[in-house]
Amino acid sequence: MTDMTADSAWRSRLRVILAASIGSALEWYDFFLYGTAAALVFGDLFFPKSEPVVGTLLAFLTFGVGFVVRPLGGIIFGIMGDRFGRKPVLVATLLMIGVGTTAIGLLPTYAQIGYWAPVLLVAMRVVQGLGAGAEYGGAVIFLVENAPPGHRGFWGGFAPLGVSVGNLLAAGAFALVTMLPREALMSWGWRLPFLASFLLILVGIFVRLRVSETPVFTEAVVARGKIERNPAMEALKRHPRNFMVVLGARLAENGLGYFFPVFGLSYVINTLGVPKAEALSALMLAFVIELFGILGFAALSDRIGRRLVYMFGALAGVALAFPFFWMVGTKEWIWIAIAFILARAVVTAAMFGPQAAYFAELFPPQRRFAGFAFARELGSILAGGPAPFVATALVAWAGTWWPVACYAALLSVLTAIAIWFGPETFEENIRLDNTTDGALHAAAVPQQA
């Protein structure tokens, strides 16, 4: 990029931001769409012979299936991303989730084909999960490896920003279809948001095909001949401490990230009896405010470090665990909205914002994609996937919300411990190899674009 003018360089960087954030938003629209549908309609459509609570549990269980296969997708596509480049993997993962989501919109229900309906639903969830296993990591790395000096955190924040936009789009899509009469919603209305993803994915593919490979991969990996046969295993073997930091850091961020919008939405609607439109509007407002929180916390991590900002988010999760239920328990829209805003725009945003750059900085360029995706998605199995199911099961078992609050607080404490033992990375050079686990270099090296 040294021979490019400042104007052309800026246009190139803008295309990078759009490709990563828009593509991520479209892809995670698909993934979160399933979570919203699991909370609202899938229990009745695909598990109708179960009791209402059991049907919701089974719907959330299939939600967790996507997380089980995500580490496999992280390994497969992560290795491909470190061996063949970031760009082709980003296109492939986008296609996989798009196909899986569109197919869900075409599935017959239990009333039409019996037990084959949930089987096919799980199969499409697996396709989604494989693609999602590397999508976010690829988007983050694409942004971070193109970021100008001193702004990796802010640039990396556009990937989680895209995730939140996707979450907002999913909630908004279901808010619209829930305005239909219940008979129309349950017969064909629920399919529309899934089918709409086909057009959205076409937009994402178009944007991603127009960007170039990252300079870090071409210069630090390809040009130096550092391509490895199995970068995922090398990341685990050479950087075990950093690998475990990623796993621990995921517990609260991923667990609470799905706990509040997926289980929280189901709890407010199905247990407390709040109208769907009110609950969804409160959640959507939280997602909108979260967009600003993510970029704000990401930019702050460029100034004071990733660990300090991340630690604040984890401790805020401990502080909010019980008050969240007190607020939504009022059944008043304003308090429900405040509860979701604090959960998303403060707790989740403070962890999600700096996480992008932090995780990318923990691994060297030749094993960054595989190490990032494998460790991050392995953490999804421990946190995000089980969270809605575990929370719903705890409420069914105890008949009250307090065990769920304890569960949320525990996830936050474990993440705070992991971050405490992790290295600080915001001043390190991401083009160089990590020779010592837990510390990229003994002394800080200025960032390079």
**Residue 388 has what pLDDT?**
66
- Four-residue CA torsion sign, 373, 378, 379, 381: positive
Q: How many other C-beta atoms lie within 10 A of the C-beta of residue 332? A: 13
CB 311 within 8 A of CB 432: no
**Residue 409 has what pLDDT?**
92
Q: What is the mean pLDDT of the chain?
A: 83
pLDDT tens profile 145-154: 888 888 999 9
CB 70 within 8 A of CB 129: yes
Query: pTM of the entire structure?
Result: 0.80
State the maximum Cα–Cα separation within the chain, in Å, rounded to a whole number. Answer: 66
Examine the pLDDT at 448 and tell me if it is beyond 50. no
pLDDT tens profile 58-83: 666 666 677 778 888 888 998 998 88
Q: Which domains does the chain have, with CATH numbers?
A: 13-420 (1.20.1250.20)
Q: How far apart are CA 161 and CA 348, in angstroms?
A: 12
- Four-residue CA torsion sign, 249, 255, 258, 259: negative
pLDDT tens profile 176-209: 888 888 888 888 888 999 998 888 788 888 888 8
